[in-house]
Amino acid sequence: MLPAEPPKFQSWAGLLAPIKSGEVGWRVFALQSALGSVGRDTTPDGVFGPKTLRQVKGMQTNNGLVADGIAGPATQQKLIEKISHKTHTAFTSIPEGLMRGYAEAEGGNVLAATNWYTPVGGKAGVDCGPVQWRQYGPPFDEWGLRKAFDCETSFSFAAQLLIDRMREYGQRRPSLSPGMRLKLALLAHNAPFLADQYVRFGKFSTPDALAMWTQKPGGGHYTHAEWFEVYTSRLLKYVT
């Protein structure tokens, strides 16, 4: 039985800790689901037993990785890359590489990444998985968590949401170029009110206001206009 709540990581090191034989829980479920998406014979039950160990080693061998059966950062990133390509094959209107950028910028290339932060006035919940799909709770819906921690399902969710947003933005403001529609649809994943500003007015009405949820490497916060460029660039990193 899977835990009632997503995992809580006390540090960045904990988030990046390899998934090993003997572990149980959502991290193992996320790994097993990803292995299944790339054609490995797995049962996503959240228990890292001998069968999962064999499938991890087989996947590593087939992809030029050290076949130690430990799903560390390199193994998880390779699974994300392969599932990203699979998703783009299914959603041809989404540029190749975008889901890979999502997973890196939002989830740190961690299959079971979580963020328990809830903004002031927001509904309690946790951002889960490679695209940080918000799940509300506690209590949490187990099937919602299963979808969020399944890399292929979460990529498909994000891709369809982008398509729907781009269509909506084009209808609301036909003068928007396809590239700007995509960037605004991406921004809406992080700051929907900013995307709505641009669609409504054709520009940001608060470009110089500080995006208080952000942090610059050297300290301080990005402005709304700066964050639009920084955030979308991160997600578009692998798009050629």
pLDDT in tens, 20-49: 999 999 999 999 999 999 999 999 999 999
Other CB atoms closer than 10 Å to residue 200's CB: what's the count? 11
Distance CA 3, CA 198 (A): 41
Distance CA 4, CA 143 (A): 11
Burial 128-153 (b: 16+ CB within 10 A, else e): bbbbbbbbeeeebeeebbbbbbbbbb
Q: Are strands 125-128 and 133-136 parallel, antiparallel or unpaired?
A: antiparallel
Mean pLDDT, rounded, for 185-200: 97
Mean pLDDT, rounded, for 2-19: 95
Mean pLDDT, rounded, for 130-144: 97
For domain 1-152, the question of CATH label 3.40.720.10 is answered with no
Q: What is the pLDDT at residue 135?
A: 98
Mean confidence (pLDDT) of the chain: 97
Distance CA 225, CA 54 (A): 48
With beta carbons less than 8 A apart as the criterion, state whether 6 and 140 touch. yes
With beta carbons less than 8 A apart as the criterion, state whether 111 and 79 touch. yes
Q: What is the pLDDT at residue 154?
A: 98
pTM value is 0.94
Q: Where are the alpha helices (DSSP H) in 38-72?
A: 50-62
Q: Over the stretch 80-125, which tens digit does the pLDDT of each residue have?
A: 999 999 999 999 999 999 999 999 999 999 999 999 988 878 899 9
Numbered ranges of CATH 1.10.101.10 in the chain:
1-152
H or E segment and range at residue 135: strand 133-136
The dihedral built from the CA positions of residue 160, 163, 167 and 169, taken in this order, carries a sign that is positive
What end-to-end distance do the CA atoms of the chain give, in Å? Answer: 42
Residues 6+ apart with CB under 8 A from 105: 231, 234, 235, 237
